[in-house]
Amino acid sequence: MAEFESWRSYWEFHRTVSRELRFVRTREAEQFLETVLATSAKRRTDFKEGYVFWRSQLGHDWREEGEEGATFEVLRAYPPERMKPLRDRASDGRANPKGIPCLYLATERDTAIAEVRPWIGSHVSVAQFRTLRPLTIIDCSRGHNKMNLYFEEPDVVEREEAVWSSIDRAFAKPITRSDHYADYVPTQIIAELFKREGLDGVAYKSNFGKNGYNIALFDLDAAALLNCTLYEVNKVTMVSEQVDNTYFVKENLGKG
C-alpha cells in the first residue's frame, strides 16, 4: 500500500520543485509523485459524452449594425476561435506549462466568470462546451473544506486525506499575472503525471462560489463549443478574513 511520509508531503514537494530541483527531481519528490499516482485511483471520476461545461474569456469583440452608410459598432462575444486556447501560444496555468495548453472549464456559469477575475463594468464572453467522448479525470476536490493541522503525524488514512486536501487547495488557489510562474510548477507537474498515465484531466474546487468546480482537460478537442454570450459584470462581492496578527509602529502611535 502506497503511503505518504507526512501530512505535509505536498508542501515539501512544493518547496523542492519551486526552489531547488525542478526538471531533475530528488528521490523524495519522485517518491511523492509515485504515491500521488497510486492513491489517485480512488479519485478517478468518469464523465459521459455530452456533458456541458462553461468557459469564460475576459473581454469582447465588435460587430457592425445598421444599414449601408449608417452603420455603427456594438459589443459582441468573442468569436469561436477566441474561446479555445491557442495551440502554440499557451501561457502558464495551474495544470499546464507555457506552450502546452489545457482547456479550462467550469461546472457553473458564474464560476467560469469569476475565474477570469472581472471587475465592475467588465465584459466577459461566456461559452458552453459539450464533451465529445467519455472522459476519465482525477477529482482532487474531495475534502476541499477540511483543514488539516497536526502536531504529531496522524495515521496513514489521515495523512493521505491531508495531502490530497493540500493538492486541491493548491490547484484552487487564485494566481494572478503578478505572481511568479514558479507558483504554478507543483500543480503543473502533478497534472502532467496524470496526463502521462492517459487520464483526460483534473478537477478541483473553485475558490469562487460555494458550489463551483473547475475542470482542466488535456485534450483541446475533447469538448466542442456550443454557444457564446456576452455578459457585463455589475456586482462584485469582496469578503476578507484576517490571517495574521496586527502589528503596531510604536513611534507613530503618539502619547496617550
Please tell me the predicted confidence (pLDDT) of residue 87: 82
Instruction: Give the pLDDT of the chain (256 residues) as one tens digit per residue.
Output: 789 999 999 999 999 998 888 888 899 999 999 999 999 999 999 999 999 999 999 999 998 887 777 777 889 999 999 999 888 778 888 899 889 999 999 999 999 999 888 999 999 999 999 999 999 999 998 765 666 677 888 899 999 999 999 998 899 887 665 556 678 899 999 999 999 999 999 999 887 767 789 999 999 999 999 999 999 999 877 677 887 888 778 776 766 5
Residues in the chain: 256
CA-to-CA dists, residue 39 to 32, 161, 163, 193, 204, angstroms: 11, 10, 10, 13, 16
Please tell me the predicted confidence (pLDDT) of residue 152: 85
Tell me the whole-structure pTM to 2 decimals.
Answer: 0.86
CA-to-CA dists, residue 78 to 32, 115, 217, angstroms: 42, 17, 21
Please tell me the predicted confidence (pLDDT) of residue 111: 92
